Structure 1
Amino acid sequence: METSITTIPDAVLVEIFAIFSLRSIARFKLVCKSWKSVIESSDFRRVFVSLHQNSSSSWSVMLPTDYHHTIKEVISFHGCKTWNLPKSLASYIMPPNLPNTEYFYVASSNGLVWIDVTESTTCSYKSFVGNPVLQQWVEIPPPPCPCVATGLVTRVEEDGVVSSFKVVRTFQKFEAGDRGMYIRRVYVYSSETGLWTFKRLLNSRPVNHPAVNINGKLYLWERRVSSSEHGVIVAHDFYGPEADDHCQVIHLPAVPSGYKDVKSCLTTSRGDVIYIVRIGQKLKIWRMNNNSENGWWLLSREINMLNVMYFWFCIPMAMNPLDNDIVYLWSQKHHCLVTGNLRTQEFILHQESEKWTSSEGCCCINTCNFKGYIKATNHDKSLLILSQFVLPQWMDSVPRPPN
C-alpha cells in the first residue's frame, strides 16, 4: 500500500501560524525542522508583526534591586493576544536549573532580562541574561574587578530583531579628572565578543542608580545637592563610537523658584524618555526631544491637580510603557496607587492588591512592597526611577557570544 504525504506550502503555514500567540509558536518550532525554518524566516516575522501590530504586549513595572533582593512587580499586564501568557512576567523569571539559590531582577531591555543569582551556602553569585518566557539564558562571566550593576542595553536591527546585548557595571570609586570632571570607570560585557572591556566616562558629578535604558543608551540621574536645580540626566550611547568617552548632559526642565515639595520620576513610553513632575498643584509631563537644537524637552501635557480631589500630594511613579495617555501615581494621602488617563483626565484609586480582566488582557496591581520603598526614598528633589520590563511584539532567540 502506498502512503502519500501531503506537504503544506510554506506560504500557507505562514498564514496559519501567524494567528497564534508567540507562546504557542515557540512550541511549534520544536515539532520539526521545516516548521522551525518557516517560523524563523523574515517573511513569517513580517506577517506576524503586521497582524499583531495593534495588539498589546506583556509588561511589568518592577521595584529597583537595591531595595528588594527578590523580584517584585508593582504593576503587571499579561494574557494579551501577542504572547498569551497565563501569568505575569515575574512568574517566569527564574535561574536555569540552579537549586538552593536566591535570585533577583537587575535590568531589562527589549524583552531580555538580567538577573543575579546568589548561592545560599557560599554567597557567591552568577549573572544571567535571557528571555524568561522562552527559558533561554546566557551566563555572564564575572567582571575583572568588583563593581555595581548599572544597566542592560540592546542593539535592535531595522527588522526588529535584537542582534546583541551589553551588560554594564560601574566601579564604585570615582576619580577626579581635568577641568572639574569625574572619571567613571565602567566594564562592558558584549554578547558579540563574549568579553569584558574597560571604558572611562567623563561626568561632571557622580551619578545615581538605577538607570533608564532605551535605544542602546543608559540615562542616569545626577543630583546636584548644593544647587536649587533638580539635577541633570547623564546619557551615554554604548553602541556609539568606542573612542567616545563623553556623556551627554541633559538638564531637567527648570522648576519655578519657591516650590520645595517637588516630586518627579523618569520613565519611558512608546520609545520615548518621559519626565513627569508634580510642582505644587500641577502635574507636567515632558517628552525628551531627540533634536537637542530646540531644547532637550517638549512639554506634552499639563494638568491642574485641583480638578481631582484625591489627586493632591501624589508622587509620579511611571507611565504605561505602551500607552502615553496612562500615568501611574502614588497617593500620599491614601497610600495607594492612582491610575490616570491624561486624555480624559479620569483618575482611579486602587486597592493594595487588585486584578481585573479586559478584552486586551489581565492587569494586576500589588503595592504592598512599594509602601516601604516610597517611605525610604520619599525626600525633597528625589527622582523616582522604576524599571520597566516589556516583551516585544516579536520573539527572538537570545544573542549568544562566539564561545
Structure 2
Amino acid sequence: METTLTTIPDAILVEILATFPLRSIAGFKLVCKSWKSVIESSYFRRVFASLHQNSSPSWSIMFPTVYHHTIKEVISFHGCETWNLPKPLASYIIPPNLPNAEYLYVASSNGLIWIDVTTCSYKSFVGNPVLQQWVEIPPPPCPCATTGLVTRVDEDGVVSGFKVVRTCQKIEARDRGMYVRRVYVYSSDTGLWTFKRLLNSRPVNHPPVNINGMLYLWERRVGSTKHGVIVAHDFYGPEADDNCQVIPLPDPSGYQDVKSCLTTSGGDVIYIARIYQILKLWKMNKNSENGWWQLSREINMPDVMYFCFCIPMAMNPFDNDIVYLWSQKHHCLVTGNLRTQEFTVHQESEKWTSSEGWCRINTCDSKGYIDHDKSLLILSQFVFQRLLPRPQN
C-alpha cells in the first residue's frame, strides 16, 4: 500500500508550535532537523514573542548561598504561559551528572546560571538548569575569587554569548593613584581565559548586579555613614578599555537610620533607600549628562505599622511598581505596590495562583538570612528569557 506523507508548510508549523510554552518547544527541536531549523529561525522567535508578549517569564530572587543541596529563594514566580514550569527555578539547579555533589549558586544573567561544584575535585558550570544544558568552565590560570557573570543579547533579544569574571586573589599595589583590579575573563566565544587590569579610583567589596553586559559593584567604606559609590565596567565594550566608571550613589549623609539595596527592574539599575519612615527609589540614568540618578519614587509611610524597621530587599524584575521589604521588627516579608501604595504583609511562607502563574513567598528561610545589623543588601535575580537561548558551542 502506498502511503503519502503530507508535509506541513513552515508558516503553518510556526503558528502551531509557537502556541506552546518554551519548555515544550525545547523538546520539539529533537523531533527532526526540519523542526529544529524552524524553531531556531528569527521568524519563529518573532511569532512566539508576539503571541506571548503579555506573559511574564519565570523568575526568582535568591539569597547568596553556602554549600548545600537546597538553594534558597526569597520569592519565586513560575507556571507562567511562557515557560510553564511546574516548580520554582531553584529546584531545577542540579549539577550535570553529579546529583550528590555539593554546589554553590554564584551568579546568573538572562536565564543562564553559574554554579561551582565540589566532588573529589572542584568544577564550575554555566548553563540553563531547566533545559539541563551546561558548559563546564575550565579553571583560570591562577587562584581567583568569584566575581560575576555577564551576557550578550542580540537584536532579537536572545542571549548569544556569556562571560565569566573572576578576580585574582593576589592584591596588586595602587598604580598612579588608581586602584588596580586584576581579573580573568572567560568568553563563551573563544573558550579561553583572558587577563584584564581594571583601573578605578575606589576599591570595591560587595557582590555585583549585572545588566546589558556590565557589572555594577557596590563600594562602601567600613564605618562610614555614606553609602559610597558603584564601580561599573562594560565587559562587552572595547577590549583596550581598562577604565571603570565610578558612579556616586545618592548621598543620605546626616541620617543614621538608613537601610538600602541595589537591584534591577525593567532593564534599569535601581537604588532603594529607607530613611526613617520614607522610602526613596532612584533609577540610574543611561545618559549621565543630567546626573547619574533620577528620583522616581518618594513615599512617606508613617501609617504602615510593618514598614517601621524595614530593609529594602529587591524590586520585581519586570514591574518597577512592586518592591519587596523585610520587616525586622515583625520578622516577615512585605510586598508593596508603589503606584497604589498598598502593602501586603506575609507572616508565613505562602503560595498563591494568579491568572499568570504561581508565586511563592519564602518567609521561613528569609528569617535565617536577614539579621538586625544589615544596612545594605544585594540579592540575586534569576530571570528567564522570553525566548529560547541560542545553542552554545
Same fold (TM over 0.5): yes
Q: Report how far residue 67 of structure 1 moved.
A: 8.5
Other structure's SS at 2:206 match: strand
Residue 50 of structure 1: how far off its partner (Å)? 1.2
Equivalent position SS for 2:162: strand
- Residues 234-287 of structure 1 show CA distances to partners (whole Å, capped at 9, x for unaligned) of 000001111111110010001152x11100000000100000000112000110
Shift of 1:69: 7.7
Preserved CA contact (<8 Å) 1:136 1:397: no
Q: How far is 1:70 from its partner? A: 4.8
CA distance in 2, matches of 1:43, 1:212: 32
Whether the 8 Å contact between 2:149 and 2:162 is mirrored in structure 1 is: yes
Go from structure 1 to structure 2 and tell me whether the alpha carbon gap of 1:350 and 1:188 turns closer, same or farther (over 3 Å shift): same
Q: How far 1:350 moved relative to its partner?
A: 0.5
Q: Which residue of 1 aligns with 2:117?
A: 117
Q: CA RMSD in A?
A: 1.5
Q: Which residue does the alignment assign to 2:95?
A: 95
Q: Secondary structure at the match of 2:94?
A: coil
Match of 1:214 in 2: 211
The answer to whether residue 148 in structure 2 is matched with residue 154 in structure 1 is no
Cα distance in 1 between the residues matched to 2:215 and 2:68 = 22
Cα contact 1:74–1:367 (8 A) shared by 2: yes
Displacement after TM superposition at 1:345 (Å): 0.4
Q: Give how far 1:66 is off.
A: 5.7
In structure 2, stretches of 5+ residues that fail to align are none
Partner amino acid for 1:156? V
The partner residue of 1:280 within 259, 268, 276 is 276
Preserved contact between residue 183 and residue 197 of structure 2 (Cα < 8 Å): yes
SS in 2 for 1:239: coil
Which secondary structure state, in structure 2, belongs to the residue aligned with residue 97 of structure 1?
Answer: coil
* 8 Å CA contact retained: 1:64, 1:210: no
Task: Give the CA deviation at 1:38.
Answer: 1.1
Where does residue 386 of structure 2 map in the other structure? 393
- Give the aligned partner of residue 313 of structure 2: 317
| Equivalent position SS for 1:153 | strand
Partner Cα distance (2:368, 2:46) in 1: 45
Deviation (angstroms), 1:328: 0.1
Distance 2:377 2:36 in 1: 43
Pairing partner for 1:264 from 249, 260, 265: 260
Change (3 A) 1:394 1:52: same
Q: Answer whether contact 1:130 1:398 (CA < 8 A) is retained.
A: no
Distance 2:47 2:258 in 1: 47
| Bigger Cα displacement from structure 2, 367-376 vs 57-66 | 367-376
Alpha-carbon shift at residue 178 of structure 1 (Å): 3.1
Three-state SS of the structure 2 residue aligned to 1:208 is: coil
Q: Secondary structure at the match of 1:180?
A: coil
Residues 1:60 and 1:395: Cα distance change in structure 2 (over 3 Å): same
Distance 2:205 2:253 in 1: 24
**Normalising by structure 2, what TM-score?**
0.97
TM-score w.r.t. the length of structure 1 is: 0.94
Q: Distance in 2 between matches of 1:212 and 1:112?
A: 14
1:27 aligns with 27
**Counterpart contact for 2:163–2:187, Cα < 8 Å:** yes
Determine the structure 2 residue equivalent to 1:82. 82
1:296-335 superposed matches below 5 A: 296-335=292-331
- 1:230 aligns with 227
Q: Tell me which amino acid in the other structure corresponds to 1:41.
A: S
Q: Which moved more, 1:82-91 or 1:30-39?
A: 30-39
1:226 to partner: Cα distance? 5.7
Amino acid of the residue matched to residue 125 of structure 2? F
Aligned residue in 2 for 1:143: 140
Once the two structures are overlaid, the 10-residue window that deviates more, 317-326 or 227-236, is 227-236
What fraction of aligned residue pairs are identical, expressed as a percent?
81
Q: More deviation in 219-228 or 248-257?
A: 219-228
Match of 1:343 in 2: 339
Which one-letter code corresponds to 1:117 in the other structure?
V
1:171 is aligned to 2:164:
no
CA distance in 1: counterparts of 2:142 and 2:348, whole angstroms: 41
